[in-house]
Amino acid sequence: MSIAISEDVLTDGSVLLARQPVFNKSQDVQAYSLLYRSDNGCLPTEFSDEQATASVILNNYAVASCDGKTKHLPLFVKLTQSMLLSDMLPNLPRESVIFELLREDGISKELLSVLRQRKEEGYRFALTHYTGDKAQTPLLDLMHVVKIDIQRHDDAELKKLVTFCKPYRVHLLADKVESQDDFRRAIGFGFNLFQGYFLCRPVSIKGKSFGSAKVLIMELLAELNNSAATAQSVEQIVINDPAMTYKILRLVNSAAFSTPKQIESISHAVSLIGMDQLKKWATLFLLSGQSGKPVELTRVMLIRGRMCELLAEMLSYSQPINFFMVGLLSQLDAMMDTEMQVLLDQIPLDDSIKDAILTRVNQMGEILTEVQHYERAEWTEMRNLLERPYYEVAYRHSLNWADQVLASLQE
């Protein structure tokens, strides 16, 4: 399915938008941090338009699906002192946004006065990269969140920073949490919000294998990869698992598939879905319901897979479904806490897909690398295989699609 750039996409091509989740101790998403790139280093000009902001920013980057329901989460938006002092606050609902004050040299009385006034008006602010500098202390009374880069400080420094901040009753956000060890370390020091890529890294529990239900799904994947497969041969596998049967029947009528039909049989449902699409969904069934894993990891995997697929379509590459598989499964090791090579040996996939995941070779690996750079806001590392607005609209579409899929899987 190809998608056209809609009218509300950033037309000057100078801005890219992405988001990064902010978690609590239970690894539930509490907010999203908006990541952006613009040529002049300021907020996108779109932020000055109330209608565009409400429809594009909040309805795409601050929405998530959980337990089959859609919810709106606060959005962290970066703000420079010069923008604050020049009265350029984006016209966003105050309950939906936390303005992230970038650390700059010099804290004037004027800045403190404006912050105090805005706080009284109901605005919330977060201080980025708090280091304990005495010049930053007057800001603490005015902040809702204080963000500390835990990679920049040793244990003694972190303990001192946290202890100093506690009387100000701010939320302490641990930034650059890159591993589960970092996460546990930050919890131990008293942080209650966490941001980083720790969900996307495996803990590496060796010897873990798939349960019986997962084995059946892999049998289904093997049949779907068989060129001689038919709807009837697929049906013979599916009917052995009532849960999978139910999921496939629900899938045909789900918002993610959007073709309501009266289903006569499993083989009829398979024919309506199509072999390629069913291969995609069988992979989702393999990942869904993984015990102990936060929903957000599944969401990230879905977004990455769909964006890889869309970019492949936009570039007119053949077999976009394979690009989806590469993107989706590229974090399978984090989901299963097992080495990637061990996991891929258990899944009947084409060698080119496995090679793209393991070594980032071929077109699929190239697209996967491009999408990874985008989602991490590593804009300068991107090869820009397409004009910038295409990336933004593909990412936005992928966010919405992932939430539709999660809602279908969790119902």
- pLDDT 10s digits, 177-217: 999 999 999 999 999 999 999 988 877 555 555 655 677 78
Q: In the prediction, which pLDDT does 257 show?
A: 59
Confidence category of residue 45, pLDDT binned at 50, 70, 90: low
What is the pLDDT at residue 42?
A: 56
Range picked from 4-18, 146-160, 379-393 for highest mean pLDDT: 146-160
Q: What per-residue confidence (pLDDT) applies to 44?
A: 58
Mean pLDDT of 273-288: 82
- Is a pLDDT exceeding 60 seen at residue 372? yes
Question: What is the average pLDDT value for the chain, to the nearest integer?
Answer: 83
Flag whether pLDDT at 263 surpasses 80: no
| Residue 402 Ramachandran class (φ > 0 left, ψ -120 to 50 alpha, else beta) | alpha
Q: Higher pLDDT residue, 382 or 271?
A: 382
Q: Which residue has the tokens 């105090």?
A: 116
The better pLDDT of the pair 32, 276 is held by 32
Which residue has better confidence, 411 or 115?
115
Please list, residue by residue across 65-81, b when 16 or more beta carbons sit within 10 angstroms of its beta carbon and e when fewer do. Answer: bbeeeeeebbbbbbbeb
What pLDDT is stored for residue 10 in this prediction?
43
Of 362, 378, 71, the closest CA to residue 370 belongs to: 378
Give me the pLDDT at residue 226, please: 82
- Would the CA dihedral through 314, 318, 321, 326 be positive or negative? negative
Task: Tell me the pLDDT band of 6, cut-offs 50, 70 and 90.
Answer: very low
| pLDDT tens profile 13-28 | 456 889 999 999 999 9
What are the tokens at 242? 């009532």
Q: To the nearest whole percent, how much of the chain has pLDDT over 70?
A: 81
Query: For the chain, what percent of residues have pLDDT higher than 90?
Result: 45
**Using an 8 Å Cβ cutoff, are 3 and 310 in contact?**
yes
- Token output for 249: 């029947």
Residue range 209-256, pLDDT digits in tens: 565 567 778 788 888 878 888 999 988 888 777 667 777 777 776 655
Residue 4 token pair: 């056209």
pLDDT number for residue 261? 56
What is the reported pLDDT for 69? 75
Whether 260 has a pLDDT exceeding 60, the answer reads no
Q: Between 154 and 10, name the one with better pLDDT.
A: 154
310 vs 283: which has the higher pLDDT: 310
How many other C-beta atoms are found inside a 10 Å radius of the C-beta of residue 234?
Answer: 24
**How does DSSP assign 176-211, residue by residue?**
---SHHHHHHHHHHT--EE-SSGGGS----TT----
